[in-house]
Amino acid sequence: MGADRHPVFRLTARWLTAMRHHRFDVLLCALILLLLWTPMVRLLAPIWPPALSKFTVTTLFCVVLLSAVFAVSQSRRSVLVALWMAVPGILLYELNLAIGWDVLLAVSYAFSIAFLGYTIVVILRFLFVDQRVTYNTICASLCVYLLLGVLWSTAYSLIEILEPGSFTFGFADEPGEMRFGGGESVFPVYYSFVTLTTLGYGDIVPASATARMLSVAEAVTGQLYLAVLVARLVGLHISQSSRDDRPAP
C-alpha cells in the first residue's frame, strides 16, 4: 500500500484541506477570542494569580500569530517568511516573562508588528485579487480590520517602552500600563480600537508627538479601509449579480 493510500495519510490530507479552506475562519475566531478574553482577565484578577493571567493572554496572542501564519500559507515561501517573523517574537516575549528585560519586550513587539503588517498585506492581496464576494472574502476582510487594531495596540506598547509616559489616563478610574500582554493589557487594545473606530472617548490621551501621530495614522487607516473595502465589495457584488443574471447564449 502506497503512503498516499494509507488511511492516516488520507485523513490528515483531508483535514489539512478543510483547514486551508477555512483558514480565515480560524484566524477570525482566534482574534475574537483574544479581544473577548483580554478584558475578562481583569475581572478574574482577584481570583487568578497574576502569572496565570499573563500566561493566558500570551497563549492567546501566540494562537493568533500561528493562525495568521496558517492564513497566509499559500506557498512555502510565504510560510517561511511568516515563521521567521512570528517565531522570534513569541520566543523573545516568553523569555521576557522569565527575565523581565524591556529590551527583549521591545524587540518582541517589533517582530510582532512586522509579522502583523506582513499578514495584513498578504490578506489584502487576496481580497483585491479575488473577483467574487464569498464567505472567505467576508471573513478575510474582517480579519484585516481586527488585525489592524491588534497591530496598532502592539505599536502603542512599543512606543510606551521607548518613550515612557507617551499616554496619560485623564478620566480612567485607575491608571494602567500601556503594555500589550501585561497585567493591564486591556488598555492598549482598548485604546487602539477606540482610535480605529474614531470613537475617541478621551479617557486615554496620547501625550508624546509619536503617540499622537500614530493615533492619527490609525484613525485615518480605519476610515480609508472601511471606505475602500465597502466600495470594492459592493462593486464586486454588482458585477457578480450582473454576470449571474446574464442570459446564456
Domain annotation covers residue 200: yes
Cell digits for 131?
Answer: 473577483
Smallest CA-to-CA distance from 140 within 211, 244, 236 is with: 236
Instruction: Judge whether residue 1 has pLDDT over 50.
Output: no
- Rounded CA gap, 118 and 85, in Å? 9
Query: 4 lies in a domain?
Result: no
Average pLDDT, the chain: 79
Which residue type, as a one-letter code, is found at position 34?
Answer: L
Residue 107 lies inside a defined structural domain of this protein: yes
Examine residue 10 and state whether it is found in any structural domain, yes or no: no
| pTM: predicted TM-score of the whole model, two decimal places | 0.82
Question: How far is the C-alpha of 169 from the C-alpha of 174, rounded, in Å?
Answer: 8
In a domain, 8, yes or no: no
DSSP 14-71: HHHHHHHHTHHHHHHHHHHHHHHHHHHHHHTTTTS-HHHHHHHHHHHHHHHHHHHHHH
Query: Do 156 and 167 meet the contact criterion of CB atoms below 8 Å apart?
Result: yes
> What single letter denotes the amino acid at residue 124?
L
d(CA 35, CA 223): 20
pLDDT digits (tens, 9 = 90+) for 215-238: 999 999 999 998 888 888 878 767
Q: Does 141 reside within a domain? A: yes
The answer to whether the beta carbons of residues 154 and 180 sit under 8 Å apart is: yes
Distance, CA of 83 to CA of 142 (rounded, Å): 23
Q: Which domain holds residue 239?
A: 19-245
In a domain, 169, yes or no: yes
Which is higher by pLDDT, 84 or 57? 84
Kind of pairing, strands 204-206 and 167-169?
A: antiparallel
* Residue 64, pLDDT above cutoff 60: yes
Residue 92 in grid coordinates: 523573545
Give the number of domains in the chain: 1
196, three cell numbers: 480605529
Count of CA atoms in the C-beta half-sphere (13 A) of 183: 9
pLDDT of residue 158: 92
* Secondary-structure percent of the chain, ordered helix, strand, coil, rounded to 5: 75, 0, 20
* Whole-number pLDDT of residue 59: 79
Query: Which pLDDT tens digit goes with each residue over 72-129?
Result: 777 778 778 888 888 888 888 878 777 878 888 889 899 999 999 999 998 888 888 8
**Contact of 31 with 150, CB cutoff 8 Å:** yes
pLDDT in tens, 142-196: 999 999 999 999 999 999 889 988 888 876 555 556 665 544 467 888 899 999 9
Summarised one tens digit per residue, pLDDT across range 11-24 is 555 555 555 666 78
- Of the candidate ranges 28-37, 49-58, 142-151, 202-211, the one whose mean pLDDT is the lowest: 49-58
Instruction: Confirm whether 6 is domain-assigned.
Output: no
Determine the pLDDT at residue 183. Answer: 46
How confident is the model over 38-53, as a mean pLDDT?
71
Query: pLDDT at residue 201 above 60?
Result: yes
For the record, the C-alpha cell of 76 comes out as: 512555502
